[in-house]
Structure 1
Amino acid sequence: MRIVQSNLYAYIYVVLLCTLVTNASAQITEVEKHPQKDTVRIRLLNQLSRSFFPKDAAKTAQYANEALKLSDSLHFKTGIMWATRNLALAENIKGNLEKQMDLTVNALKLADELKDDYAAGVLNTDLGNILVEQDQPRQALRYQKKALRIKQALGQPAEIARTLNSIGSSYIRLNKPDSALHFLLESERIKLSLNDHPGLAITYENIGLVYTEKQRYGMALPYFEISEQYHKESDNLNGLVKAHLNIGFAKTMLHRFEEAEQELAEAAQLNSNLKNMKNTLIYHKNMATLDSARGNYAGALANYKQFSRMNEEMFSLEKTKFIANTKEKYESEKKQHENKLLRKEQQLHLATIKQQRILVIFCTMLLLGLFVITAVLYLMYRRQQELYTQLNHRNIQVQQQNKIIMEQNAALESGSQVKDKIFSVISHDLRSPLAILEGLLFLLRDDKMSEEQFRIFSHELWRDMKNTAYMMDNLLQWASSQMKGIHVTPDDFDISTILKSEFELLQSLARQKEITLTHELHRPIMVYADPDMIRLVLRNLISNAIKFTPMNGCVNINYLLLPDKLELIVQDNGLGIAVADQAKVFSNIYYSTIGTRNEKGCGLGLPLSKDFIERNNGRIWFHSTSGKGTSFHFTLPLSAGEETPGRGYTIIVKENQESVVSN
């Protein structure tokens, strides 16, 4: 039965595709038959652009740009408005919601200027839909209800039904299923009377989501299946993918696992052509739910990890788009401000020139006598001196304002770099262990993972969280140094005491990799520096050595006692640093690589350590051979009362044991 149904859908799809191609070809022919560059051609181009939505973003944008260019040349604001709206729809297909929002707002401003109520209703609905996609349903309702009032006043049933459906979507996002169902059923009634199958497909999809929210999956499933049928009729590939995803989830909840898997597989196959990242994200989430429901916990965890990874990628992509859009707006506002200053300066010069012309005319009229001419010239000279003084004074003020603006721009740029680095670390390095922890707790909460399995995963999670804690220390210290500056508080202290405390903190990391930690200090040694800064430097260098040392490796701390300073050496037999990468270690490009057990870093530890050592009148450097290991050296000034070295000790830390050897 399902094979026959699939063949029928395939036949309908081919017929509709041919019809759409024929319609598009007919509209292209109409444009070609009207080559005159007038408002009629502009309307035809906008109609042709709209006909390619949502199937072809490139064609939609191509004809909209042509309409916009012609409308600009003819100063035809109505054509500019609809061309701008079509460009916004093209950005919607690409998933650029921020760009779509800016273009839609510009089109709405033109609609208000032209007092075009129909366009205002359409564009307010578009703004509401964008805000729903951006997960801002409360703001969306304000535009959607305004659009509904406009369309009801104009008596437009099709547009009213479309807006009612949008309002229902907002209430779904607000977790108000009863309110959503009220508007969706009213939208369904109008669309049934109009026989609007494409519109009904979206409405039935939303009604199914309402019943899913209420956990009434048996009632949701028929609506999702009707939505799938209507999406096939209207050749809406994205809607068809979402319908299969919704049907798969509903059947999972109804324990029809084989059918659910088939629906999700069809969604994945269709989306392979569409390449919609959001659909792929929902697919992995639904597959994790399906695998968990039928007891395949390994598959559930794998899909949930894939879901978490893609969710992070989407977050990073949205963040990048947001930052780019913010920078673009900032540059635009900056140029507008500069233009205002230039216009004010130009007006000042014009006013000065106008005054000088008046004075020249006045002098010409007073050429009746030598005495009168002399007096007028004297007055003109005095007036001109005053004007030059004022002009110079104002020029100095403008220069001072420009200097202030440049300093503010530099501060904003520095703050933006700090913010970008913090966002980058949070989105890529700090979210990963939290996502894994969330997945483990998700399985543990529902008793879907044994204690033995949890213990295996918890060791890896503990190591990631420990590395994350060290990254957080570096990130906070770096952010503080960038935003507030660094205040050095030097004092006399025993560096062997700090070294011992840091060894105790790093024992667990070493035991995880069965690495031998040793340090050779024959007696307490007093140095003069900021102890908190030196503690962070030691932690960074030792944890970095552990990070890049393989299992059963060695990390050793040596020292040289010089006449006026102490040289400490942190040496390991790990991976070493490639020659091509050695120049990046202490640079400000925040270079970071993965450790021997996939440990992550944010690239701040070594540049921060270099800064701290130099601020304490020391020097830091390193020697490294790829594949053989690395040794980091740094110096600190000795305390004024430091004596000749005496007897010391060596600490060796291995798995489940600790020993002290006298030297």
Structure 2
Amino acid sequence: MQTLLVCLTAIFLQAPSLVDSLKKEVNKASDPGSKAEVYYQLARAYYASDQDLAISYADSAFALAERLGNEKLKANTLNIKGVSSLIKSDYETAMKSHLDALAIREQMQDTVGLLESHLNLGNILYRTGSAREAAVRYRKALHYARLSGNQRGQGLLFNNLGSYFKDLWAETDDPSDLDSARFYLLKALETKKSLGDSRGTINTLNLLSEIERMEKDLPEAEKYLKQALELSSGLEDLELRISLLSELTEFNLELGKGAEALNFSKQALNLAEGMKSLFHISSAAGLVSSSYEALGDYKNALQFAKKKLQSIQELRTEQNKEITEELLIKYETEKKELENQRLTKEQEFLDLSIKRKNELLLGAGVLLIGLVGTWIFQRRKNEQLAKAHKETKSLLVQLQSKNEEIENQAKKLHESNLALTESNRIRQRLFSVLSHDLKTPLSSLSAILDIWKKELISQTELEEMLPKVTGQISTVQSLMDNLLEWAQAELDHSQIMNSSLNLRETVEEVMSQLSSVWESKEITLVNQIPPSLTLVSDRDRLSFVLRNLISNAIKYTPPSGVVTIFFDSTEGNRIGIKDTGVGMSKEKIDSLFKRRQFSQLGTQGEKGTGVGLLLCQEFSNSLGASLEVESEIGMGSTFSIKWDGDL
């Protein structure tokens, strides 16, 4: 007992010594890599005694390893966390940790690590009743044990798989399961013998013997048991030898081999007598008696049966003797105490009082020391947990901050990309129209001048063509005016000059600018904007949109027609330009703002530039509005600048 206490004391003193040394290393570690390794070693030191603290250290090591990109250390910390969780029976966390470690080790092609991960996953599955899945993991672990040349691991896995198939065969009676059990157990036997693992070999031989007994191949079963017995002779484990000899005795009694049973039982009895163990002597004597009885030697059978009973009686007598001695000692002690009480009552009372006081003081001192020690231990543990938690929390805060920063940058980049895409889309549409509307009039003008230069037409014919040339030049000039105004707005895009303006007055200014056009076509322009209506917007951009929309309405309205400018706030807020012109089909409306839409002639052959609506749409969007159109053929059209919110 004293030796056991010394050993236990040494173990408990050694563990704190290692832990204290590692804690000092944490404080000394200056770089994250060294600190991560020490945290991992602390997790390994604690996983058997304090799983929660081990998991905390493992998490700290993982966080540092992840920041450093140390994949091997990440896998190792996940593995120790999984083992700790399995000890706590937290199977879900254990499974997740080992699967994460497995993923890393597969990427690294770490064969030793893969062996470890698959073996641990198999243990979890076996513990949770999933034996088939466990066997799959054991096979994978065996594959990596072979790759890495780990003989001890191979022997263990062969034995585990053999035991699995033995149990499976007992359930299914499938010959293939029996073959698998024998195959793996024989491989385990071969491997363990080559390693000199006697205890492991005996275990495998017992499993093989059980299989052969179940198969009724009793000679083969006996052979395995005898091999196990022979190996046990080299071990200083007498109880193991007695157990094997007893099993061989019972086995031969089943076979009716009384002589061999007698031989094995006598060997067991000799070992038991050498141990002076009455329990083993009684058991072995009973087997000797049964062996003589099987041989028909009832005299000796009776003799050893008596020996068995005698051993049992001696065992009981010895136990009774110990009890009697204890009772006698107790009686004598009580008697002396009574005599002392009668002879020296006062002195005894004083001694008893002093003794009780000393006991109380001693008990209080021990209790105080225990409480102080517990408080110190708990405080250190709490400090360790708090420090680990603080470091983990700090790392999480840093990671969250980085993630938020990246998300904000990604959001801004996405918004910029959307704006750039939209801008490019509008420009592509604009230049598509320009490529047609600039090229056509200039080509016509160039052709006329070339014909005139070559004197292919007369002066009279040239004069007849000049009005058309003038119209083409006017079209190009109108196009350039629109482009210049749009380009100027693009240069000032970030400086939209919003101001409060009277909408009716703004419309009147636009009407005045276009008076020569609508008066020449005898078109009536009606301004229905309320006189007091004001809004906040960019005057120049809004005037540009109104001017182009009213100009288009005049262009496509026949003489004596009516163009009405109105304001409607029933559904949002919109400025409408309604005409009594030719109108448009649904297909025409759908294609108005498409990429390849070009201009068409007005009611009096007016040539449009084709870019007006595109620029109106872009300017409306920059003012926070949308451009909408309603039209039917022969019923005129209504173009609206619409705001969804308040003006």
Q: Settle same-fold status: TM greater than 0.5.
A: no
Normalised by the length of structure 1, the TM-score is 0.33
Larger Rg: 2
**TM-score, length-normalised on structure 2?**
0.34
